Amino acid sequence: MGYFYLFLLVLFSWSCHGLQTYQTQLLLQIRKHLEYPSQLQILDNYNGDLCNLSAMSNLTISCQDNFVTEFKIRGDKVANVSDFNGYAIPSKTLSKTFSIDSLVTTLTRLTSLKVLSLVSLGIWGPLPDKIHRLYSLEFLDLSSNFMFGSIPPQISRMVKLQTLTLDGNYFNDTIPNTLDSLSNLSVLSFRGNRLKGQFPSSICRISSLTDVAMCHNKLSGKLPDLSSLTRLRVLDVRENRLDSELPVMPQGLVTALLAKNLFSGEIPAQFGVLSHLQHLDLSFNQLSGTPPSALFDLPSISYLNLASNVLSGSLPEHLTCGSKLGFVDISNNKFVGDLPSCLDNKSDKRVVKYGGNCLSTDGQQQHQGLYCKEANTRRSGRKTAVLVAIIVVSVLLLMLLAFGILILFQRCRPRRTFETHIRQKVVQDNLTTGVSSEVLANARFISEVAKLGTQGTPICRLFSMEELEEATDNFDSSMFMGEGFTGKLYKGRLENGTYVVIRSLTLQKKYSIQNLKVRLDFLSKLHHPHLVGLLGHCIAGGVQDDSGASKVFLVYDYVPNGNYRMHLSETCPEKVLKWSDRLAILIDVAKAVHFLHTGVIPGVYNNRLKTNNILLDEHRLAKLSDYGMFIIMEENEKLEAGRELKV
């Protein structure tokens, strides 16, 4: 009996080892399909457990119970060929003998795979239908390759997907209209393809969506009503051929990029109540009329671009601009009259472009009045024509109604009976009519407006002092990370196990706590893959503090792989980055800076761009820190300067 149990133990050990070996064989087979990319050279002489392989900037392999659950590779074959015709291109794509079907078949054998990212590897060919066999996938990124044809409809069977990214390929068919079965999807990105046809209505039924990006394609027709997507924060459909009027947008929308399409009609008044909207780009369309005044005064708006449309009329003299509005472009339209004072460009806090109109101002080149008169006259003429048409139609309807009443009267009126006789003529006296005296005079069209969800972008979380003291072991010296230009840094571990970085700031007593909370709330809403996220704050003492200053603690995401400066030092040769890695990091930083300059807060450039403020995560992806400190410290520095002058 003892030999039997020993046999079972040996058999079990062999089977576990076989599973691990099988997973390794699959990875080696994938390497062969991808034609031995340099990122997988480590597999040549690596004798250890691949599940314990350290994550690198261009390769990540993670396992659970000896099964591969995460497989990420970033290559160097960038898909930037303008005339790709579906065939292999030397040094750009994989070779002529490459088979995308065989690659996907091998990938489907990694049955526990949850995260798959194959970026810039030169993969070419139509994406096979069998991709849906990766049924456990939650994250799929096949960006910057050479895939073409249609996006397989079977992809809608991958119901666990939360992120689907196919950016920078050459897909040239319509988007499947069955994506609404992806009920867990939050990020849908098809940027930079050649997709055509209409924007699928099924997307409007994926209530979990937060980001939709379809820019740089050839989509046409109508952009549907998106108000049902209550969690949507980012919508990017720039540079397509969409030619409808602007639809109703979800109440929680933060960024809306609709530039370089063929949108027409007036800007809906509903845009003026999007209280979370920060970035709106409607430039280079065919929009007409006068924009809603409320658009300039949205509480969160920081970037507003209405340039190169056919907008006309006069902007209100007492137009109000929101306190966060940092960039406005109304250039190359048909505006007339005076420029409102909040757009007069005298404030250093706001950049305003208004050239190419017919405004009565000396700044920025304007056209002669006749240039805009035609547009405004045409607009006035259209209004008159519409009014005349309404009157004519109303008169015709009244005439038809009167004619109908007359016919009804004649049919319902009892006939008078005449009897002719030699001796008598009888006329019926009891004449009756069945005609109602009530006539419908007015008709009202009642539009039932659905109440949009009040759940917006989460505000900055308020931590208690006890939470931070517990997270840092009462700010023990072992948790101290260093002291920068804007305060001391501590590493902490929250109750749920999340690691964070806590920055301690000292602010002047007269610093407005209300203003501070507004600024922190604003910064916490800046979400970008290459920015260190602000999770929350703690204000110790508050406005009632009688000491000379207030203590403020900012809680950030923890980025574990040090800063860029550490990886440039020759004193640690094992950490020194290759030039290709350095270039990738600088590109990531450029994306973050571009987002800060043009996407959120244009005109504010004091983001302390230094090598020790560029942090690297476990995948060596760059994240910029200290980017919003100028917004917080600006008022504090003014108070300190005033205090010194008094002294």
Say if pTM beats, i.e. exceeds, 0.75: no
Lowest average pLDDT, out of 15-29, 177-191, 574-588, goes to 15-29
| Average pLDDT over every residue of 33-56 | 77
Close Cβ partners of 564 (under 8 Å, ≥ 6 residues apart): 585, 611, 612, 614, 615, 616, 622
- Say what the pLDDT of residue 422 is: 30
pLDDT of 34 over the 60 cut: yes
Between 2-33 and 100-107, two packed helices, what is the crossing angle to 10 degrees? 150
How many angstroms separate the CA atoms of 441 and 134, rounded?
Answer: 64
Residue 149's region, left for phi above 0, alpha for psi from -120 to 50, else beta, is left
How many angstroms separate the CA atoms of 407 and 119, rounded?
Answer: 75
Residue 605 burial by Cβ neighbours in a 10 Å radius (0-12, 13-18, 19+):
exposed
Q: Which residue has the higher pLDDT, 274 or 382?
A: 274
Q: Which residue has the higher pLDDT, 393 or 241?
A: 241
| Average pLDDT over every residue of 427-451 | 30
pLDDT interval class at 226 (50, 70, 90): very high
pLDDT of 418 over the 70 cut: no
Q: How is 535-586 classified by DSSP, letter by letter?
A: EEEEEESGGG--SSEEEEEEEEE--TT-BGGGGG-TT-TTTPPPHHHHHHHH
Tokens of 168: 């920078």
| Average pLDDT over every residue of 50-76 | 83
Average confidence score pLDDT of the chain: 79
Domains of the chain: 17-162 (3.80.10.10), 461-638 (1.10.510.10)
- Say what the pLDDT of residue 562 is: 84
pLDDT of 262 over the 80 cut: yes
pLDDT of 632 over the 90 cut: no
pLDDT of 619 over the 80 cut: no
pLDDT interval class at 459 (50, 70, 90): low
| Average pLDDT over every residue of 207-222 | 94
Q: What is the DSSP letter of 533?
A: P
Q: What is the DSSP letter of 275?
A: T
How many angstroms separate the CA atoms of 167 and 160, rounded?
Answer: 20
Condensed to tens digits (0 to 9), the pLDDT of residues 483-511 reads 876 788 899 988 888 889 998 888 766 66
Close Cβ partners of 112 (under 8 Å, ≥ 6 residues apart): 64, 67, 68, 69, 136
Condensed to tens digits (0 to 9), the pLDDT of residues 180-206 reads 999 999 999 999 999 999 999 999 999
- Say what the pLDDT of residue 394 is: 75
Q: Nearest to residue 232, comparing CAs of 252, 257, 247? A: 252
What is the b/e burial string over 172-208, where b = at least 16 CB atoms within 10 angstroms of the residue's CB?
eeebeeebbebeebbbbbbbbbebbebbbebbbebee
pLDDT interval class at 596 (50, 70, 90): confident
pLDDT interval class at 147 (50, 70, 90): very high
The H-or-E segment that residue 640 falls in is helix 629-646
| Average pLDDT over every residue of 343-363 | 83
Q: Residue 258's Cα: distance from chain center in Å?
A: 12
Q: Residue 38's Cα: distance from chain center in Å?
A: 33
The percentage of the chain sitting over the pLDDT mark of 70, rounded to a whole number, equals 77
The torsion angle over the Cα atoms of residues 215, 220, 222 and 226, rounded to 10 degrees, is -20
pLDDT of 171 over the 80 cut: yes
pLDDT of 601 over the 50 cut: yes
- Say what the pLDDT of residue 127 is: 95
The dihedral through the CA atoms of 253, 283, 151, 169 has a sign that is negative
- Say what the pLDDT of residue 450 is: 26
- Say what the pLDDT of residue 373 is: 79
The percentage of the chain sitting over the pLDDT mark of 90, rounded to a whole number, equals 39
Condensed to tens digits (0 to 9), the pLDDT of residues 507-559 reads 766 667 777 777 787 777 777 888 888 888 888 764 444 455 678 888 988 88
Q: Nearest to residue 324, comparing CAs of 269, 354, 279, 283? A: 279
Count, residues in the chain: 647
| Average pLDDT over every residue of 59-76 | 88
pLDDT interval class at 386 (50, 70, 90): low
pLDDT interval class at 416 (50, 70, 90): very low
pLDDT interval class at 52 (50, 70, 90): confident
What is the b/e burial string over 349-369, where b = at least 16 CB atoms within 10 angstroms of the residue's CB?
ebebbbbbbbbeeeeeebeee
Q: Determine contact, residues 61/50, Cβ cutoff 8 Å.
A: yes
